[in-house]
Structure 1
Amino acid sequence: MHQSALPSLTAQAERLVDLSLVADADSLRARAAQLELTAPAGSLLVLHERVLPASALAPRLHLPAPGRAGVAGETREGFVVVDMTDVDEFSPTAQAELPDADVYAVLAPERGDEMRNWSPEEALPALVAASRTPLTLVEGIHWALQAPGVVEANACFMTIGSRKIKPNGTPDARTPALWISSGTGRDGRERKGAPKVGWCWWGNRHTWLGFASSAGRAGA
């Protein structure tokens, strides 16, 4: 299941301000304070993807550089895989309906470890049957920004609340995911240990990827 502890929504707002991800810091603080009045503890603060797309968020992810414990503060920066230049075209699905609000809360996010080695095709109906809604890619990146421990070796997650719809109206066979680069192939050795936005096939299983979901969303 894995539920990484999240700070208060107002503290999360300050984190986004510190990262220079918002144009109007005072407005974000006010909306976070408003949400905090009703959203349960452990909720995640999210800026709607029309305000802050995945391509802008991914490079703000950081994880400690592997094997460099003696170098204080050295990190690896997040990135989007080279064959996902269309990352911002992955939009929320019907099972992940977003509030019509620039700032909202995701309630009780879970990584879905119990579904590791399931395919997205298998996981989606199980989440719906459990009254859970799959996280979108942007929500997943926000979660990793606020609680970096949710992206860890051999236990990461897919965000099947985001799909790309092709011109003919059918879904693209890819589904986005967050995991840690091994520094091989086109990622490059310098990215070993970096948080990575990539994709998996809709029908494939992966032993290290769960399915991030939430109990719902609440708009400010």
Structure 2
Amino acid sequence: MPNAAAPAEAFDAAAEFDRQVRTLVDLGYAGLSGRTPEDFRAALAPLRDQAVAAVAEGRAAPDTAAGRIPFVLVLTRAVAPVEETMPRTTLHGGRLPGFVDRSFEPGSLERFVAVKEAAEPAPDAYLLLDTERGEEFCGAVPREAMEVIAGRDRTLLTIEEGIALVTHFPQVLVKNKCFSLGGSRCGDRRVPAIWISKKAPKLGWCWEGNPHTWLGMASAGARRAAA
């Protein structure tokens, strides 16, 4: 009788959380937060158990090809300003730093804040759960895509969360599968988005009524703070 196929290796959520913390330390986030690397790790440690619990609830291992990630460690802009974090992103295998597009006029980036439905559950750091890149919405009108996502009881990603996603999983940002970040708005028709420009990640924006074949709409299942 042939041997039964070996079960797939279990996803080690604790190791993945540690990897994400290590990524932030290596990119200088401890200094951005005004902490030493040791204090920075200690401040994030309470979220480790939440990451393990999230995976125990049935969330699958990361599938970067499909743009689906079980959890992403997010730092708020109070801890790490967008102007400092976006240049710390790169494309997978790339070296050029990400950047904020000049279409954000001076002072405008600060006005793009989380909508009520995408409110941060903690003032400094939290986990974003069940993240999807949302390429099914490539070519869709952003406003209509946001309505569909709301109907699924999912939440739109904010600018900070989009940057965190690319920081920890640069593989998800690929040609023709970039994404809008409808969770951050400033009261007008602009919707932030991250796409590829000049061989690097770029934070820009598009009009809520204008579809783009290469821009989907990123979403998540929930946000979770430390217990």
Q: TM-score range by the shorter chain?
A: 0.7 to 0.9
Change (3 A) 1:198 1:74: closer
Contact preservation (8 Å) 2:94, 2:200: no
TM-score, normalised with respect to structure 2: 0.78
The match for 2:195 is 179
Contact preservation (8 Å) 1:111, 1:213: yes
Alpha-carbon distance in 2 for matches of 1:100, 1:175: 24
Change (3 A) 1:216 1:31: farther
The match for 2:130 is 108
Q: Which amino acid aligns with 1:119?
A: V
Work out which of the two has the higher radius of gyration on C-alpha atoms and give 1 or 2. 2
**1:28 to 2:40 alignment:** yes
How many corresponding residue pairs? Answer: 191
Q: Which amino acid aligns with 2:207?
A: W
Alpha-carbon distance in 1 for matches of 2:38, 2:168: 19
Where structure 1 has 5 or more consecutive residues not aligned to the other structure, the ranges are 1-5, 65-72, 165-170, 182-191
Alpha-carbon distance in 1 for matches of 2:152, 2:91: 32
- Runs (4+) off by over 3 Å: none
Alpha-carbon distance in 2 for matches of 1:48, 1:79: 18
**1:49 to 2:77 alignment:** yes
Higher RCO structure (Cα 8 Å, ≥6 apart) = 1
Aligned counterpart in structure 2 of residue 216 of structure 1, from 191, 210, 222: 222
Q: Which amino acid aligns with 2:18?
A: T
Where structure 2 has 5 or more consecutive residues not aligned to the other structure, the ranges are 1-12, 56-69
**1:76 to 2:76 alignment:** no
Alpha-carbon distance in 2 for matches of 1:130, 1:51: 31
Contact preservation (8 Å) 1:28, 1:103: no
Q: Which amino acid aligns with 1:12?
A: Q
1:194 Cα deviation (Å)? 1.4
RMSD over aligned Cα, in angstroms?
1.8
1:172 Cα deviation (Å)? 1.6
